[in-house]
């Protein structure tokens, strides 16, 4: 499976991990959908998802990975084993902000539950936050490259 994308989680300069904070805020049902989508959709298809309902480019290297399916549905779509997440079904509408770089690496910056807060104003706030995190990441990489010279 050498063609899989490597998934990395962004750590902010202040030590926080926005993606982990987001994941920790989800119910088990929604987290199972998130986990299945990262493993079976994003890591296996990466940038090939562009132009599909899964991935929306937001400019300057930032993308929005869209999850609209529960874990069982994702498992069926991608011929994977479905996790056991109980019987309480919930609507899934998650947004994950990602950046693709290097040799097939996808960086998870953060995310939010659009189903819980669908207003356009909230979405714009979350996108701006993701842009700031990506800028922080790019600046850190520039500093590291300069230091390594």
Q: What average pLDDT does this structure show over 1-14?
A: 88
Q: Which of 55-59, 81-85, 136-140 has the lowest mean pLDDT?
A: 81-85
Q: Which of 13-22, 27-36, 78-87 has the lowest mean pLDDT?
A: 78-87
pLDDT higher than 60, residue 2:
no
Is the pTM higher than 0.85? yes
Whether 56 maps to a domain, the answer reads yes
Residue for token digits 């991990």?
17
Whether 1 maps to a domain, the answer reads no
Q: Which residues make Cβ contacts (< 8 Å) with residue 118, sequence separation at least 6?
A: 93
Pair of tokens at residue 48: 């090939």
- The pLDDT score that the predictor gives to residue 1 is 46
Whether 111 maps to a domain, the answer reads yes
The more confident residue out of 80 and 38 is 38
Residue 116's domain comprises: 6-148
Counted domains in the chain: 1
Whether residue 75 contacts residue 81, with contact meaning beta carbons closer than 8 Å, is answered with yes
């Amino acid at each position: 499976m050498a063609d899989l994308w490597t998934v990395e989680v962004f750590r902010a300069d202040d030590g926080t991990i926005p993606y982990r904070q987001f994941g920790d805020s989800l119910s088990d049902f929604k987290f199972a959908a998130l986990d299945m989508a990262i493993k079976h959709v994003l890591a296996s298809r990466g940038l090939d998802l562009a132009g599909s309902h899964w991935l929306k480019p937001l400019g300057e290297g930032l993308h929005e990975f869209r999850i609209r399916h529960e874990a069982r549905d994702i498992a069926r779509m991608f011929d994977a084993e479905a996790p056991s997440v109980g019987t309480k079904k919930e609507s899934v509408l998650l947004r994950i902000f990602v950046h693709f770089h290097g040799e097939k690496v996808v960086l998870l910056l953060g995310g939010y539950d659009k189903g819980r807060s669908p207003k356009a104003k909230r979405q714009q706030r979350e996108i701006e936050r993701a842009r700031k995190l990506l800028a922080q990441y790019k600046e850190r990489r520039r500093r590291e490259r300069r230091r390594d010279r």
